[in-house]
């Protein structure tokens, strides 16, 4: 699985002019299931994200995890993280998991984060979403289980 995470002071996701998920301090997690991913990758990715020490401690150093600061995660599915841009100017998305598998792994990832006692808000799989965020730092990291 792939994820782009951004440390935020606020993030929200809107579908059809309705805010369906919002958080304050925490992480915006854009996540994509890739072909051949399994629940094992979902569990590994959730564990890694929950433990990443990317929040500031009292000395201003990135030394605290999402769990340490009691932050939340806004999890949004984003198949475009699978983009292959190696040929031409139009990205290809053939490396993304098929929609049914992608939905299952997205839901698994949400459950994995919740199982780690992370408060979760979420987007809507497959929907046209508007995501707003205030990137803190900015801190943005790319993670890939492969």
Among residues 43, 78, 108, 109, the one annotated as catalytic is 78
State how far the alpha carbon of 106 is from the alpha carbons of 34, 46, 80, 103, in Å: 11, 11, 14, 5
The DSSP H or E segment spanning 66 is helix 66-69
Among residues 9, 19, 80, 140, the one annotated as catalytic is 80
| Annotation marks residue 80 as catalytic | yes
| Annotation marks residue 79 as catalytic | yes
| Annotation marks residue 41 as catalytic | no
Residues 6+ apart with CB under 8 A from 44: 145
Among residues 43, 55, 79, 109, the one annotated as catalytic is 79
Closest alpha carbon to 9 in 36, 29, 28 = 28
User: Catalytic amino acids?
Assistant: 78-80
């Amino acid at each position: 699985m792939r994820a782009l995470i951004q440390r935020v002071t606020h993030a929200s996701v809107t579908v059809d002019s309705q805010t369906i998920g919002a958080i304050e301090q925490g992480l915006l997690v854009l996540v994509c299931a890739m072909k051949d991913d399994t629940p094992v990758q979902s569990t590994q990715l959730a564990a890694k994200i929950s433990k990443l020490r990317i929040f500031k401690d009292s000395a201003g150093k990135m030394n605290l995890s999402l769990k340490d600061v009691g932050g939340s995660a806004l999890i949004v599915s984003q198949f475009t993280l699978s983009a292959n841009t190696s040929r031409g100017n139009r990205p290809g998305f053939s490396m993304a998991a098929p929609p049914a598998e992608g939905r299952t792994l997205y839901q698994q990832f949400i459950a994995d984060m919740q199982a780690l006692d992370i408060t979760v808000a979420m987007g809507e799989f497959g929907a046209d979403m508007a995501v707003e965020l205030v990137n803190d730092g900015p801190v943005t990291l790319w993670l890939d289980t492969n």
